[in-house]
């Protein structure tokens, strides 16, 4: 069966789209107007908007100060992600070094700010003879990870709500026609699996997982596999109190502990929402998800104005 139209992977069994890198960026420039590094033809502001919409980390690079002859003027900007670069601060070895440093900052996995000086002759080996101060600021999305087993009415409604928030959603089903009807978006990934329980081993650690399928037998296989695997933040199962009691009794007979059974949420969602329509159930589950705190950004590494002013003063004095 072909992959659904909403899938963002090259293969229906792949989790993350592997985008081609920008190409080799190690060529040493011999002059300031050397050939720029390969990059996507995009204004830096458009790149920021796309990366934010996709929930992808990026670094915003700005030329804060210049002294002597330099490739670009103050205020020039570019954007660096883990795999791509957008716009340019002049190309050549300077840009290569800046991109390398920006990706080192991104690898830290938190919001960082720094001003770094680049003497063009000494460090970038460019004959301009000037120097630049580069401001690097990283933006790391603080988002939730939610995995939905099932693409029926409740899952579709729930996915439609969550993709409008800082939530990354993966929807898994063995019915490609339903996956194809889910709302398209950068934050939604659809995965077709003939045997959905095969996807359990590949779930991202720390995700909130909700079993919302149309088949009670499949529900049981999924819950069993998920309880055995562990590593999720939440595990929810759609169903009534009667279904909950029957599943817990059977899971207990199959050897699962009381602690494991206590971690299973069934019924799932906020008890204050009593409606049974698909959208009402979806709103109930979505509210319980959005009520969970998202890890706060670490601000210890943020650069204050005194540190930035001192770095810029050093650049001016070196001219």
pLDDT tens digits for 286-304? Answer: 999 999 877 544 444 555 6
Query: What pLDDT band is residue 137 in, cutting at 50, 70 and 90?
Result: very high
> Which domain covers residue 94, as residue numbers?
44-141+297-317
Residues 123 and 70 in one domain: yes
* Interatomic CA distance for residues 207 and 139, integer angstroms: 21
Q: 51 near 61, Cβ under 8 Å?
A: no
Residues 64 and 164 in one domain: no
% of the chain residues with pLDDT over 70: 76
Q: Provide the token pair at 85.
A: 């670069």
pLDDT of residue 3: 42
6 is a domain residue? no
11 is a domain residue? no
Residues 132 and 195 in one domain: no
Could you give the number of structural domains in the chain? 2
What CATH number does the domain containing 186 carry?
Answer: 3.40.50.720
230 is a domain residue? yes
Q: Mean pLDDT for the chain?
A: 80
259 is a domain residue? yes
CB atoms under 10 Å from CB of 148, counted, come to 28
Decide if pLDDT at 132 tops 80. yes
Residues 52 and 186 in one domain: no
Chain position carrying tokens 């954007």: 79
Decide if pLDDT at 36 tops 60. no
Query: 3-class SS at 165?
Result: coil
**CA torsion through residues 212, 214, 215, 216, sign:** positive
Q: 185 near 244, Cβ under 8 Å?
A: no
Residues 170 and 106 in one domain: no
Residues 244 and 175 in one domain: yes
pLDDT tens per residue across span 53-103 = 777 889 999 998 888 777 788 889 999 998 899 998 887 888 889 999 999
* Interatomic CA distance for residues 122 and 147, integer angstroms: 50
CA distances, 304 to each of 61, 122, 140, 163 (Å): 17, 28, 19, 34
Quickly count helices (H) and strands (E) in the chain: 9, 11
196 is a domain residue? yes
Decide if pLDDT at 18 tops 50. no
Residues 81 and 187 in one domain: no
25 is a domain residue? no
16 is a domain residue? no
pTM: 0.59
pLDDT tens per residue across span 168-209 = 899 999 999 999 999 877 789 999 999 999 999 999 888 999
Residues 284 and 174 in one domain: yes
Helices 241-253 and 216-229 sit at what angle, rounded to 10 degrees?
Answer: 50
Residues 310 and 268 in one domain: no
Residues 161 and 227 in one domain: yes
pLDDT of residue 274: 83
10 is a domain residue? no
Closest by Cα among 234, 225, 228, 219 to 257: 228
């Amino acid at each position: 069966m072909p992959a659904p139209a909403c899938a963002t992977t090259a293969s229906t069994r792949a989790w993350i789209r592997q985008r081609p890198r920008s190409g080799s960026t190690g060529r040493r420039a011999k002059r300031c107007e050397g050939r720029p590094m390969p990059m996507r033809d995009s204004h830096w502001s458009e790149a920021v908007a796309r990366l934010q919409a996709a929930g992808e980390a990026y670094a915003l690079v700005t030329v804060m100060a210049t002294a002597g002859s330099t490739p670009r003027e103050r205020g020039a900007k570019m954007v660096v992600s883990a795999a791509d670069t957008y716009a340019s601060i002049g190309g050549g070895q300077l840009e290569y070094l800046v991109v390398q440093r920006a990706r080192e900052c991104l690898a830290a996995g938190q919001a960082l700010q720094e001003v770094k000086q680049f003497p063009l002759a000494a460090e970038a080996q460019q004959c301009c003879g000037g120097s630049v101060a580069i401001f690097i600021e990283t933006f790391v999305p603080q988002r939730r990870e939610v995995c939905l087993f099932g693409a029926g009415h409740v899952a579709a409604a729930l996915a439609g709500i969550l993709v409008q928030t800082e939530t990354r959603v993966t929807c898994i089903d063995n019915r490609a026609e339903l996956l194809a009807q889910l709302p398209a978006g950068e934050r939604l990934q659809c995965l077709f699996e003939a045997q959905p329980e095969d996807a359990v081993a590949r779930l991202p650690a720390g995700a909130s997982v909700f079993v919302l399928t149309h088949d009670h037998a499949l529900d049981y296989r999924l819950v069993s596999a998920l309880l055995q695997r562990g590593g999720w933040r939440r595990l929810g199962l759609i169903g009534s109190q009667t279904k909950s009691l029957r599943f817990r009794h059977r899971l207990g007979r199959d050897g699962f502990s009381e602690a494991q059974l206590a971690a299973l949420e069934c019924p799932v969602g906020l008890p204050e929402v009593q409606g049974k329509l698909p959208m009402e159930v979806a709103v109930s589950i979505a509210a319980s998800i959005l009520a969970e705190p998202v890890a706060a950004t670490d601000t210890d590494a943020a650069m204050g104005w005194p540190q930035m002013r001192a770095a810029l003063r050093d650049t001016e004095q070196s001219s």
